[in-house]
Amino acid sequence: MSEGDSRLGFDTRAIHVGQTPDPRTGAVIPPIYATSTFAQDGVGGLREGGYEYSRTRNPTRTALEECLASLEGGRHALAFPSGMAASDVALRTMLRPGDHVVIPDDAYGGTFRLVDKVLKLWGIEHTPVHQTDLAAVRAAIRPNTKVIWCETPTNPLLAISDLAGLAQIAAEAGARLVVDNTFATPYLQSPLGLGADVVLHSTTKYLGGHSDVVGGALITSDDDLNEQFAFLRNASGSVPGPFDAWLTLRGVKTLAVRMERHSDNAERIVEALAGHPRVERVYYPGLREHPGHEVAAKQMRRFGGMVSFTVAGGEQAALDVTARTKLFILAESLGGVESLIEHPHKMTHASVAGSELEVPDNLVRLSVGIEDGTDLVQDLLQALA
């Protein structure tokens, strides 16, 4: 990110950084460079941009990475074919057999599966901790702790962690703080500015924003760490295709306006659910009674489009609600323009069943879209009736 870029507003950077009109044709939108290799002018004679093979670098992917780095306030960004691919490269770069990582006690099920079922076999130790409690995080640190892995808000219970506090603990321990910023997006929260070493995204979600592409990203200002990420990404071949990069970049252009509408609609839904006789508890950091509300208000622009709630009557009652909605689509994933509803216990978080991270079986998670807010509220009310 250049000094000039950093002075531009978020919306402007989302539309322009990495996306200057094509100098040869004047095309306003960056081309999709659907090529596997690039001609050289003699051995080693690479042309403008230094491109030689698309596994290593591709101009469409470069455009996306420059934009993401700018939006997160980092010097570097790397795009991946999924959020889990980005997570895998990040953890395998920063950890070695015998090392220890602190994870949230309600982490995303895919992250837990990677750590508990894959990296454990590689000799990596982990401790789940309620990361809203900084004292508990500090107590979980070991001499071999190399990474604190944080989600805030968490998936699916929307717990809020104090990023500046976690960054201080990580620095004292000689560890790195990695923040999964998927739920908040760079529009609502800037972890690098609060002391994080690495920001991770599933760009499948809000950054892509249209449920039509899968991807991931790592953003950092650490030159050496970025070089190591890039080496492992290239060595393992964990790269997105140019069309996926182009779709994600197209989605990023409208991130700011979409996040405002997601947040508006989520607040209306929370208001309708709070106090409803069939709703036991609403999880949303915008609620004043939410235990992380003050921290969220301090480090987030708004409170986002994700809402979870527990249904009176147990698991079957929650399943019934997910079956009755007409506008909320029963599906995994989140962050698209359309509203989604799911049952984490049996869907996205089935992999944590029986562990310390198990979620309530009467929990329902909403990804609130950008449809008419009144229609969404009425859809949920009739499903709860």
Q: Which residues of 152-188 are buried (b: 16+ CB within 10 A; e: fewer)?
A: bbbbbbbbbbbbebbbebbeebebbbbbbbbbbbbbb
User: 33, 51, 88, 108: which is the annotated catalytic residue?
Assistant: 108
Q: Count Cα neighbours of 58 within 13 Å in the Cβ-side half-sphere.
A: 24
Q: Give one word for 275, left, alpha or beta, with left for phi > 0 and alpha for psi -120 to 50.
A: left
Q: Report in angstroms the alpha-carbon separations of 254 from 8, 272, 355.
A: 16, 27, 38
Question: Would you call 55 a catalytic residue per the annotation?
Answer: yes
Question: Would you call 180 a catalytic residue per the annotation?
Answer: yes
User: 205, 250, 301, 365: which is the annotated catalytic residue?
Assistant: 205
User: 88, 162, 180, 197: which is the annotated catalytic residue?
Assistant: 180
User: 5, 55, 281, 324: which is the annotated catalytic residue?
Assistant: 55
Angle at 99 between CA 95 and CA 103, to 5 degrees: 80
Distance (Å, whole) CA 111 – CA 107: 7
Three-class DSSP category at 374 = helix
Cα end-to-end distance, the chain, whole Å: 51
Q: Which amino acid is at 242?
A: P
**Alpha helices (H) in the chain, listed in sequence order:** 3-7, 10-16, 59-72, 83-94, 109-113, 134-140, 163-173, 185-188, 223-236, 242-252, 255-273, 293-299, 315-324, 373-384
Q: Which amino acid is at 180?
A: D
Contact 330, 379 (CB under 8 A): no
Residue identified by tokens 């991130």 is 255
Residues with a known catalytic role:
55, 108, 180, 205
